[in-house]
């Protein structure tokens, strides 16, 4: 039989049976065709609406929120606290960053590679497969390049999005190269190596191979993960997750000079405020800890349990991703109070965040 949509199928039996089957078969095929077209049209409309909403705020500040449980990236209008749109990413995403011009975002997943996302059209342009067992995790964008850790290869790398090629990979010889941070001049890279209990220091990174040097500093604690460099580049703080403390490394001396035993349950991230006066530590089990960086004393503990933190570049506000609560808490850093919350959708599981400044 041949239906009006051009599809066909063989039908046997009496003429009356063939006619009945043809009529029912064509009806079913037409219904299925209509359902498929409607689903595709609806998905297209939703994507177009998301892209249009994001484009409307192209010149305004945006908050990028990685939705770990939904496998997506949310673009948030921070002024009103609403999600403008979502774009699917690699599965089980962990970290996100973006180019300063707001055109591209990069999402890393240890199991799925790195998504390159067009933030204007809200689509994934391509996916970087760095090799079987590479386990990319942290991503930082600086100087037109994407820097990343590849935990499975005990290495870091750099990607040129314009040329669509990996510039280089550098082996660290340390297990669990998880998080990274760059100096302002991009000439020094630090990584927290969880299984080796070390912090790697890559000097001469701006020049690249072969003029670089790699060293490892004992972290002074167990399972270093979250780390940040002070704005003046003098100190590197790293939270050691398995013993609840923080190690402070003197960058010039290349050694841990102070150890803060804070009694935290699961400190996984930390961040300096832009003026270097405070350090915020996320204890994903119990709290956000605010430290006086110079005095090394605790200022406050906020009753939150975030799995990620972000300090806004002006230092006025911090964002705490509450994965279990499907929302992001907004913290006023003057009053140290939660002033609002951004819902990210049921089952979304917000995590790592990135701030895109407006024009």
pLDDT tens for 291-310 read 999 999 999 999 999 999 99
Give the chain's mean pLDDT. Answer: 88
**Rounded Cα–Cα distance for residues 78 and 301 (Å):** 24
Strands 198-203 and 245-250: unpaired
**Given pLDDT bands bounded at 50, 70 and 90, which one contains residue 32?**
very low
Burial label, 55 (beta-carbon count in 10 A; 0-12, 13-18, 19+): middle
Contacts of residue 245, Cβ cutoff 8 Å, sequence gap at least 6: 221, 239, 259, 260, 261, 262, 264, 267
Q: What pLDDT is recorded for position 359?
A: 73
| Residue positions counted in the chain | 359
Contacts of residue 252, Cβ cutoff 8 Å, sequence gap at least 6: 234
51 phi and psi angles, rounded to 5 deg? -65, -40
Q: What pLDDT is recorded for position 358?
A: 80
* pTM across the whole model: 0.84
């Amino acid at each position: 039989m041949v239906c009006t949509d051009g599809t066909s199928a063989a039908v046997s039996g009496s003429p009356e049976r063939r006619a009945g089957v043809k009529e029912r078969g064509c009806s079913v095929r037409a219904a299925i065709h209509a359902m498929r077209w409607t689903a595709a049209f609806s998905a297209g409309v939703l994507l177009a609406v998301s892209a249009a909403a994001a484009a409307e705020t192209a010149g305004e500040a945006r908050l990028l929120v990685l939705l770990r449980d939904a496998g997506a990236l949310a673009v948030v209008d921070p002024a009103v606290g609403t999600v403008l749109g979502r774009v699917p990413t690699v599965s089980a995403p962990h970290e996100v960053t973006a180019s300063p011009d707001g055109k591209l975002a990069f999402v890393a997943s240890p199991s799925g590679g790195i998504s390159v996302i067009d933030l204007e059209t809200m689509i994934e342009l391509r996916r970087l497969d760095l090799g079987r067992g590479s386990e990319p995790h942290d991503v930082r964008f600086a100087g037109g390049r994407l820097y990343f850790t590849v935990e499975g290869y005990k290495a870091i790398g750099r990607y040129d999005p314009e040329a669509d090629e990996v510039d280089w990979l550098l082996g660290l010889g340390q297990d669990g190269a998880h998080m990274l941070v760059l100096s302002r001049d991009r000439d020094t890279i630090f990584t927290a190596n969880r299984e080796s209990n070390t912090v790697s220091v890559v000097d001469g990174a701006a020049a690249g191979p072969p003029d670089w040097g790699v060293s490892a500093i004992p972290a002074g604690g167990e399972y270093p993960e979250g780390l940040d460099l002070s704005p003046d580049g003098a100190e590197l703080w790293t939270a050691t997750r398995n013993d609840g403390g923080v190690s402070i490394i003197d960058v010039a001396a290349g050694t841990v000079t102070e150890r803060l035993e804070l009694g935290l349950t699961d400190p996984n991230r930390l961040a300096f405020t832009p003026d270097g006066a405070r350090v915020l530590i996320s204890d994903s089990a119990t709290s956000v800890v605010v430290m006086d960086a110079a005095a090394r004393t605790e200022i406050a503990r906020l009753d939150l349990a975030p799995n990620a933190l972000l300090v806004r570049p002006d230092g006025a506000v911090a964002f705490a991703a509450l994965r279990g609560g499907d929302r992001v808490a907004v913290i006023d850093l003057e009053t140290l109070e939660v002033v609002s919350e951004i819902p990210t959708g049921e089952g979304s599981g917000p995590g790592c965040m990135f701030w895109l400044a407006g024009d």
